[in-house]
């Protein structure tokens, strides 16, 4: 099993709809570590690490998000070494 670290930027109606909280629940279910943070431009940034299949499952979930969200786009970027996630999944 290979480990993968990824960074995502999610845009749309993603703040004020418990997006970060539901992302943490989904990441915990998938046994992933990382964080979700609101960004000043209204987007949400997610940095996540774990088994490649679990990261891909979270990536697919991010395109839907929680019921109240309206995801317009998910931009996927390689995470740099300075973006290594914490030892568990956090909401920032």
38 part of the active site: yes
Inter-residue contact 52 to 31 (CB < 8 Å): no
Pairing mode, if any, of strands 70-78 and 3-13? antiparallel
From the list 6, 38, 59, 64, the catalytic residue is 38
DSSP 58-71: HHHHHTT-STT-EE
The residue from 13, 20, 24, 67 that is catalytic is 20
Rg for the chain, CA atoms, rounded: 12
Which residues participate in catalysis according to the annotation?
20, 38
């Amino acid at each position: 099993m290979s480990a993968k670290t990824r960074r995502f930027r999610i845009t749309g109606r993603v703040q004020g709809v418990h997006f970060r909280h539901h992302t943490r629940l989904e990441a915990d279910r998938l046994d992933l570590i990382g964080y979700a943070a609101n960004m000043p431009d209204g987007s949400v940034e997610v940095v996540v690490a774990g088994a490649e299949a679990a990261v891909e499952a979270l990536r697919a979930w991010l395109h839907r998000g929680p019921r109240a969200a309206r995801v317009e786009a998910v931009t996927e970027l390689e995470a740099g070494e300075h973006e290594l996630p914490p030892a568990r999944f956090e909401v920032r």
